[in-house]
Amino acid sequence: MKPPNFFRLWRDLERDTKVHPTPYRRLHTRKDGSKLAVTVVLGNFRVGEDKLFIKYVIDASSVEQTELKLEESQHRFKAVADYTYDWESWLDSNGTLIWVNPAIERISGYSVHECMLMHDYPLPIVLPDDREKVQRLIEEALGGSSGNDIEFRIQDKAMHTKWIAVSWQPLLSDQENPVGVRMSMRDIDDRKAMEQQLRDYATRLEKLADERAKQIVLLESERAKIERLAALGKTSR
């Protein structure tokens, strides 16, 4: 009797029953005692009146190494991203938030979890007067644009208004197609406060200059008056 082709039977099983054999990972001991990571796939199904059991083992050492490298890369990324001082966000191609770093809580008072649950993030945090501007910015970013240092205001959890500057760039697939957008936002409240101080100082200087100009005009008028009186005195003598 010809033995069954288990790979064909497995494909038939997936196609006909929509039930997938269950894989699991384990360490296999070789004859020399060394260990090898393998993936074991188990499944059972019926072919006619016969109940069949399938099991096969795949060398998973290269897969495991790739997974370890990926995990290490993810850990490194998370360590860098979570401790980045600026407020970082990633949106998918639909504009839905897929990741935000903990700096959001320092800046806005909202936790990462609260942001992940927000509808139309980050608009609920943005000051109402600036929401249309931010929405338009996100739409342009999802279309593949990039930008730098665009200012808007947020309203933090304590209802305080803060100034934010955002830079953004598209996230691209291997085929260079936009798949989302990364937004990097900085708290520029101190910068805006300094700009306001400079404006106030310039206003005071302008006012002082205006007052000085008026004093000069008044002094010139007084000097001209004195000169006329002196001229009249000389004439009368």
| Residue 66 pLDDT level (bands cut at 50, 70, 90) | low
Q: Which amino acid is at 192?
A: K
Confidence (pTM): 0.56
Place of tokens 């990364």: 182
DSSP alpha helix (H) spans, 96-147: 103-108, 112-116, 131-142
**Confidence label for 135 from pLDDT (cuts 50, 70 and 90):** very high
> Does residue 8 or residue 206 have the better pLDDT?
206
Q: How many CB atoms lie within 10 A of CB 175?
A: 6
Answer whether residue 117 shows pLDDT above 90: yes
Distances from the Cα of 70 to the Cα of 21, 87, 125, 175, angstroms: 26, 25, 34, 21
Token couple for 175: 């085929």
